[in-house]
Amino acid sequence: MVKLKLMYSGLVVRSGRPVKEGPPDLFAALADPVRRVLLERLAPGELSVTELGEGLAVSQAAVSQHLRLLREVGLVEVRQDGRFRRYRLRTERFAELRTWLDELERFWTQRLDALGDYLERDS
Amino acid sequence: MRADITVVAVYPHPRARVWQALVSAEALSAWLMPTDFRPVVGHGFTFRTTPRPGFDGVVRCRVLEISEPDRMVWSWLGGPVDTTVTFTLAELGPSSTRLRFEQTGFHGLGAQFARLILTRGWKKMAAVGLPAHLDRQA
């Protein structure tokens, strides 16, 4: 059961809020197709709002809105560069997600091993 | 659709026997977590474990599909995780069964995407970020 503690500790404990209130969680943030495009564009490096919104069928205001949300959940950060605000990914947040998923995968691997033991025992 | 989590295991047992261990509350309670599962489509059931802050220790599930002898699907809701889990059995021989476990959902493949981005982000950092950083230091 120790593994299960681990698998749920990352996202919930750190955010410490009810599931339905407050800023949306990481997975919800990643679910939106526009935000996925923005994140994908940021994968190679920093970009401005204008660059991020190029060719997208949404207004710059909408892009800014998405970026605000991504900042709130910590997937993206911004810095002032002269007249421009430049956005970039916070890879440590993605790393956190990955760790959490790896824990979940480990949990299921262990459980399926336990199923093997169970089958041996009861045959 | 690619699953967010896939685990495959092969058991030296007949498929019917592995299937029984998937659809019996007693067996599930032994190898997975204590549960009041019943093999009835639409049946709501729970798994119980140690509560944590933000997680009451209860995984709430529902049977979405049971296709004996090889496929079962549950919804799986616990803490921040609102997903679907699927068990699929393949008969490799009279006494050899492959179990494929998949967990999908995580709000529309967000998890898979997180992995993808991370990989690209890291590749890019390794390819451009670090050398550029070293150049600046030089």
pLDDT at A43: 82
pLDDT at A11: 35
CA proximity to B67, closest of B8, B98, B13, B22? B22
Higher confidence at residue A103 or residue B112? Answer: A103
Q: List the single range of A13-17, A40-44, B93-97, B125-129 with lowest mean pLDDT.
A: A13-17
CA distance A19 to chain B (A): 7
* B62, B45 Cβ separation under 8 angstroms: yes
For residue B80, the chain A residues in CB contact (below 8 A) are 8, 11-12, 19, 25, 27
Mean of pLDDT values over B9-31: 97
CA proximity to B101, closest of A88, A26, A106, A35? A106
For residue B23, pLDDT beyond 60? yes
Statement: the pTM of the whole predicted model exceeds 0.90: no
> How far apart (Å, rounded) are the C-alpha atoms in residues A97 and A26?
8
Amino acid B22 reads L
* B123, A45 Cβ separation under 8 angstroms: no
- CB proximity A22 to B under 8 Å: no
B-facing residues of A in 70-109 (CB < 8 A) are 89, 91, 94-95, 97-98, 101, 104-105, 108-109
Are the Cβ atoms of A8 and B55 closer than 8 angstroms?
yes
> Positive or negative CA dihedral for A57, A92, B7, B85?
negative
Mean of pLDDT values over A37-59: 90
State residue B88 phi and psi, 5-degree precision.
-130, 130
Are the Cβ atoms of B124 and A44 closer than 8 angstroms?
yes
For residue B115, the chain A residues in CB contact (below 8 A) are 98, 101
Mutate to test the interface with B, among A1, A3, A4 (most CBs of B within 10 A): A4
> Positive or negative CA dihedral for B32, B57, A103, A33?
positive
Tell me the average pLDDT of chain A: 77
State residue B105 phi and psi, 5-degree precision.
120, -100
| CA closest to A109 among chain B residues | B7
B110 DSSP 8-state letter: H
**Conformation bin of residue A79: beta by default, left when phi > 0, alpha when psi is -120 to 50:** beta
SS3 A19: coil
For residue B47, pLDDT beyond 90? yes
SS3 A3: helix
| CA closest to A12 among chain B residues | B54
pLDDT at A105: 86
DSSP string computed for B22-62: HH-HHHHHHHT--B---S-TT-EEEEE---BTTB-SEEEEE
For residue B129, the chain A residues in CB contact (below 8 A) are 45
- CB proximity A117 to B under 8 Å: yes
Mean of pLDDT values over A15-34: 55
Which residues make Cβ contacts (< 8 Å) with residue A74, sequence separation at least 6? Answer: A90, A93
> How far apart (Å, rounded) are the C-alpha atoms in residues B119 and A43?
9
